[in-house]
Structure 1
Amino acid sequence: MKTVTKRNWVFVFLHGFLVGGLVDSSSSSSRLLSVTSKVGNRAVLPCSWKQRLALAPSACHVQWATPADTVFEMHGKDKWEAEEFEGRVEVPEEKLGSGNCSLIISDVQITDTGRYESFMVVDGKTDTKTKVFIQSVKLSVFDHKSFQSRGPGEDLVLDLYTRHSARVVFQDRNSSEWSVLWMREDEHGEQRLRKHPASEQLMMRNLQSSDEGIYKVVDEHGLAVSTVQLSVEENSTALKLHQVLDKRAPTDDAVKSSCSALLVFSVLVTSFQIIHLL
């Protein structure tokens, strides 16, 4: 967790004993926005405090929270973020003063799915502070799914999408059992899937027909990050296409025979028409 000042801790826990009720009643009266994203991507939860506050606060103090706990809080230069969101959440300070209090979540995870609410903390009529509800947003995070086809001897590249990907498990096409092919904590060990040194990708070289099946990337919670169904074709697509066209294309002899038959037929029809005219 980041080092914070004494003043920062004061406003972090301020929401626990703020005096006064919520302005504009409860968050249930506001339209719930929906945002969808995929694991590893960036999600923006929209927020504009101008729709709730007629006047700009003297000092912008924004808070984002789930029903369970505070996610992010910022008051001037002081910032605080929940441990599970550490290094992944921000409200652009340069935009906050103009009304944009949107929360940006980087490297989103399945566990980030849920309801988020934003508040502005403003000065009351006395020396009290009041939380003003701004916006409620429902975030849904989904895993990646794809189908890939490769030929024997080719390579397979698996995207991990996020640094939170922990393992890759495999299910053979003829089995219901799952086996572990790669683990992050042993990424330098003897594993057939080798991690790229500079990116979140794995590579399996020289594919065989026995490699056909389902590859699933899971996070530290065992939740799916991505699922890839791999098909290893014995013949390449180009060869198959060539074979299909070869079956459909007539041979030279067949073409010559067809043309000869058509010529004879044309001569007979023309002769019959001449005789008929005579």
Structure 2
Amino acid sequence: MKFICLTFLIIYGITDSRSEQYEVVGFVDPVFAVAGEDVILPCSVKPSISVEDMRVEWFRSDLKDSQLVHLYEDHEDGNAEQIESYRGRTELTHQELERGNASLRLSSVRVSDEGRYKCFIQSKSWYDDVTVDVSVEAVGRPPVITVDGFDDSGGLHLQCDSEGWNPEPVLEWLNREGVRLSSETTETHRNTDGFSVRHTITVYERNSKIHCRIRLRHHMLETQIITSNKRFNPGRTSIILISAVFVLVVIAGMLIAACVRKNRELGQLNNENRKIEREHDDLQKEKSRMQQECGRLQNVRSRIQQEFSSEHDQLEQEKSRIQQEMKTGKEDK
């Protein structure tokens, strides 16, 4: 009994010591990825041994129920329960598995891929895992400045919008000299595509160039607008708007008059066309009548020719008879 127990302890000790020889390692620092590009999530066994016969599982440990990102088991990928958003975007290089490298290639990175991943490797005698943090950087759309009206004192309200950034960018207003201006209101929202920002400001400067700039680490996008060289005046703006409306009304009246004239001319052309068609029908009828008359005259001509030919034949016969009689009379004498 003591021998059996000793043997079990020795085997357990050997197995335990072997399991302590290997560990799954990755990066201590977060892995930075750029949206739209590919990224490698590091995971390998040290010392290096083949993991082809082992179970390799990647999953999101920061999501509810630790959802599956990629699974390798029994020498093949088994991703039936993979998160839908990762379908077709994950890959383990089987040649690298022979070297103990179970790093995951994630293609076409999205902002929603940012988070904490766990690489779990299991053999028949041991298992271990490592955590990999992924940070995604996304450069959003260029800022857009819109004019949001005037206030009672003639100030011009400007609004700057941009979206699709990650992490949250810094938006700032600057004047012509590059001096930063304070935003009056700021809005920030986040969704699966990243952060969207909106800042507003009121400008009272004349003939000024205002910049809206968005910065994110080593990226910067900027848009500018040039204000009027006169003091903003709501009354003047109203006059301009009324004048513009008046001009539009005049133009619309001219267009309507032109349309009416064109319609009148078109009606006259249609009447002329109908008149020509009626005359054409009359000519066709007259042509038919004349063709019928010609046919009748042809029949009369044919009948006269037949009568003339018959009378001619009779005269020829009478002439021949008279000549025959004269010939006979001469012979009797």
Higher relative contact order (CA 8 A, sep 6+): 1
TM-score (norm 2): 0.36
Which is greater in Rg?
A: 2
Q: Going by fraction, where is helix more abundant, 1 or 2?
A: 2
TM-score (norm 1): 0.42
